[in-house]
Amino acid sequence: MSTSSARVVLISAIASGQGKTTVTAALARKLRKLGQRVRVFKTGPDFIDPMMLERASGVPVLSLDLWMVGLEASRALLAQAAAEADVILIEGVMGLYDGNPSSADLAQAFGVPVLAVVDASAMAQTVGAIVMGLRDFGPVRMAGVIANRIASPGHAQMVADAMHKVPVNPIPLLASLPRQEQGLPERHLGLVLPDEVAQLEQMLDLQSDQLALDLDAWNALPLTQFECGHMAETAHEKTPALLQGKTIAIARDAAFAFIYPANVLCLQALGAKIEFFSPLADQPVPAGADAVYLPGGYPELHAGVLSQAQQWQASIRAAHARGLPILAECGGMMVLTDKLVDQQERTWTMAGLLPGRVVMQKRLAALGAQAWSGSAGELRGHTFHYSRFETSLTPYSHARKHAPPSANPEQGEAIYRDGNLHASYFHAYFPSNPLAVAGLFSGETR
């Protein structure tokens, strides 16, 4: 069996907030400028970081996750990328050992070395102790360190000297990035959407130019090999065309931006034709649509505009009255309620298909991996929201929280159903169960 190979690293840290996305974006852009073919993946459920990394790398960023995506599907994605690219960067989630499965678990599953990002703004030599602990706790193969938020060349040298003092297999300082005067802006669900960041391309170029990369150390990193036979094992190639001849209308704009690229690919593999439309632009559900997908996003930031989008609201009510299958996830569900109360406690009228109101809150309401089980099996995904749904509706079913095999899974997000409308805070990763997805969009009972 033939093999494909690429230089692969998993970029992780001790915790969130160390600058993993900034560093990954800067490294991707720098390697592109050096003529390398770069592919980037994001570990775990995430929508916004992949958008930023796509802008940096120029290629769509897919998810890797041992549970949500699955071991073999993740292996197939890596094998395909290795056949097409020189470099594969995998941005981890949270800290290296956080979660079940963790970023370290993914690195170990595929024999991928780890590149540790450390916020060195308030330390110097202690970076060596932190990275040695990250390496040895698992243990994992530690490829090197990128010191972020460095104050000066002297500061970077102190960190490099500390790396040489690590006992047994010293860890190289692979790169350093100075403290940024202007970082990537954030809001309650993470980074601001790329299209909202002024001069983003210039910012990415500047950060890539400022990334001091030790090319000798980088080129000394080993290549990771994958069997090309795994490329044919993707779920898409096994998917029957159960949605052949169907047109699925997908809301996509600044209010509905949380769409896994793999979800669109899955629908297309099922045979569906995709047509995008913008509720923010008051565009109606496209004529001829056989089903509607309302993904998550930031409707709370655009509630005033959405409340005035009468054509869009009338069209979704008409689609529901005609019995079109509608899947509304998180933000997509929020716009189908009677009212939305935003962060400033202003109340806005929504489409009114689901009785009750959604209220934004300052505290995180839910976060984590979940699964929704039905007659077609388990559909995996996650939840992440800062609002609550106050309603008289009785849930049709519930997702369950992902838990270790030894623990009893807890009840997760409520799933609401009205005819062919399914709505929930649950975000589904479609390739985890294409048959269940086909049932949802064809109007078959789950």
Active-site residue list: 330
Distance separating alpha carbons of residues 363 and 75, to the nearest angstrom: 36
Distance separating alpha carbons of residues 424 and 440, to the nearest angstrom: 13
- 397, burial (CB in 10 Å: exposed 0-12, middle 13-18, buried 19+): middle
* 80: phi then psi, degrees, rounded to nearest 5: -65, -45
**Which residue, among 194, 251, 148, 147, has the nearest Cα to 49 in the 3D structure?**
194
What's 317's DSSP letter? Answer: H
Distance separating alpha carbons of residues 90 and 97, to the nearest angstrom: 15
Distance separating alpha carbons of residues 235 and 443, to the nearest angstrom: 22
Residues with Cβ within 8 Å of 94's Cβ and at least 6 positions away in sequence, in order, are: 15, 16, 103
Distance separating alpha carbons of residues 202 and 288, to the nearest angstrom: 41
What's 99's DSSP letter? Answer: T
Residues with Cβ within 8 Å of 154's Cβ and at least 6 positions away in sequence, in order, are: none
